[in-house]
A and B are shown apart, each in its own frame.
Chain A
């Protein structure tokens, strides 16, 4: 369970997943932040006003999936590294997962990296499509990974290093 090992369960995730209809429309933020902690940079990060907290900074962040356009700006702004963007419309058999990354070496677009799930388990090689730097001050990278559709809700990290130039 999340509180025992830090791995969100299906129940935790079901509460925050956008509907299949919304996922079918295009990229959308998946905010995996399940504990009421005093924190709110995600609200300000979103220019669409899609993230809110009704009472105060201890609330869980709420995502209005109709306002969210999946731009991914919030990913590198969340100190908990808890925000991902999933685009199930990327291609027929592949989805795009955008995730935060703060290790070196940083992979390059076009390279392949080992995708990992929420427990750090190997989900196979995936192509890195894009790498965006958070800038000199922010320093968190956002990595876009093409993953098989059925793994879009599993892939949440990549193994550091050992990147390959082709599959």
Chain B
């Protein structure tokens, strides 16, 4: 049995920032990351990030990920296990990890769950044909493995992920025939939409995919305009030839471990699914277990990093580290979160957090 002070599950931006913050107060941290490299979503984000300087805005996601990883690797208080999937959190507080081919058992004094999110899928006839990908998979192929995923792609979903991955496909020399979106308006940032429009990729709102067709693999898709009731408008069907269809229809928090640990959960639509109820300091209803980043509501890397920092400080503080600085550090993180969520783009997050608060959880958003 390994004893550790703080165990961080997931080495994405939230997990890395949690570890760095806890370590800066003196705590010893173990990060378990199931991938062969830590960094989470950031390892494939080749575009420049938004936010403010405090969240490294203007730098590219990969650069931010590398910087966090370099800092964590250079930190004597932090140990990183890669290729290590956390399998369970048990009643007695024991965490089991598949690590170097063995089943490791860890007894951490505090746990920070930062497992991020999983991509949603969409059902339509032909969606089992080879050539239908989640946007994340396409991004991993292109930007991590350096493989051109297709010649011509139809993108489904005009949130930030659909828009950004379309841009990156175009950068990789792949033709994107269109980005289609069922909603009447674009969900992602309009600057991303403008950027791909002026590169000749049309963004078609109020459109859906009716089916994918092809003989043994994707050869095209049939799309159509839809009305307010999401019903296809007869006569608007179009065939779009393509050799891949990319789905960017949302993410859902990866909460299995929080469920299993017995944390109280709530379905909050604005946060994209079931999320753990957390307090102001991101502690769940199970004392000593914290959640940070997309696992407690789909947001952005900028907010995931700040949440990670807040959870890391709070977990370390609860073990007696930090003392005087703690309150100030917590306040600074909370006000950064408030600022990131203050605008119209943060409205749904604010609403989601109010619902969490109504269930006895966080009141972070003022």
Chain A positions within 8 Å of B, measured between CB atoms, are 2-8, 32-41, 44-45, 56-58, 77-82, 102-104, 116-121, 137, 139-140, 156-157, 159-160
Contacts and interface: CB of A to CB of B under 8 A. Distances in A.
A118 B205 contact: no
Contact of B53 (A34, A35, A41): A41
Given A6-B190, A79-B47, A79-B50, A38 B201 contact: no
A132 to B, nearest CB: 17
B198 interface: yes
Contacts, number: 131
B190 to A, nearest CB: 5
17 contacts: A2-B194, A4-B205, A5-B197, A5-B203, A8-B194, A32-B194, A34-B190, A35-B191, A35-B345, A38-B340, A45-B58, A57-B52, A77-B58, A81-B191, A118-B194, A120-B198, A160-B199
Nearest to B205: A4
Contact of B339 (A56, A117, A120, A121): A56
B302 interface: yes
B50 A38 contact: yes
B197 to A, nearest CB: 4
B190 A3 contact: yes
Contacts of A81: 191, 195
A12 to B, nearest CB: 10
Nearest to B190: A35
B184 A156 contact: no
Which interface residue of A7, A35, A36 has the most chain B CB atoms within 10 A? A35
A3 B189 CA distance: 9
B199 A157 contact: yes
A35 B203 contact: no
A119 B185 contact: no
Given A37-B189, A39-B57, A6 B196 contact: yes
A156 B198 contact: yes
Contacts of A5: 186, 193, 197, 202-205
Interface centre among B47, B48, B196, B344 (most CB of A within 10 A): B48
A7 to B, nearest CB: 5
Interface of B: 47-53, 57-60, 63, 170-171, 184-186, 189-205, 302, 339-346
Contacts of A33: 191
Nearest to A119: B197
Contacts of B57: 39-41, 79
Given A5-B205, A6-B195, A35-B189, 14 more contacts: A5-B193, A35-B344, A38-B51, A38-B342, A39-B51, A40-B53, A56-B339, A57-B51, A58-B346, A79-B58, A82-B191, A117-B198, A137-B59, A157-B198
Contacts of B48: 79, 140
Given A39-B57, A120-B198, A157-B198, A4 B184 contact: yes
Contacts of B196: 6
A2 B190 contact: yes
Contacts of A7: 194, 197
Nearest to A8: B194
Nearest to A157: B198
B193 to A, nearest CB: 3
- Which of A34, A103, A140 has the most chain B CB atoms inside 10 A of its CB? A103
A58 B48 CA distance: 17
Contacts of B50: 37-39, 79-80
A6 B193 contact: yes
A157 B346 CA distance: 30
Nearest to A40: B52
A118 B186 contact: no
A38 B58 contact: no
Given A79-B50, A103-B171, A139-B60, A58 B343 contact: yes
Contacts of B185: 3-4
Contacts of B193: 5-6
Contacts of A56: 339, 342-343
B151 to A, nearest CB: 15
A33 B50 CA distance: 13
B194 to A, nearest CB: 5
Nearest to B196: A6
A44 B59 CA distance: 13
B334 to A, nearest CB: 15
Nearest to A121: B200
Contacts of B60: 139
Contacts of B205: 4-5
Most A CB contacts (10 A, CB to CB) among B50, B197, B199, B202 go to B197
B159 to A, nearest CB: 13
B179 to A, nearest CB: 9
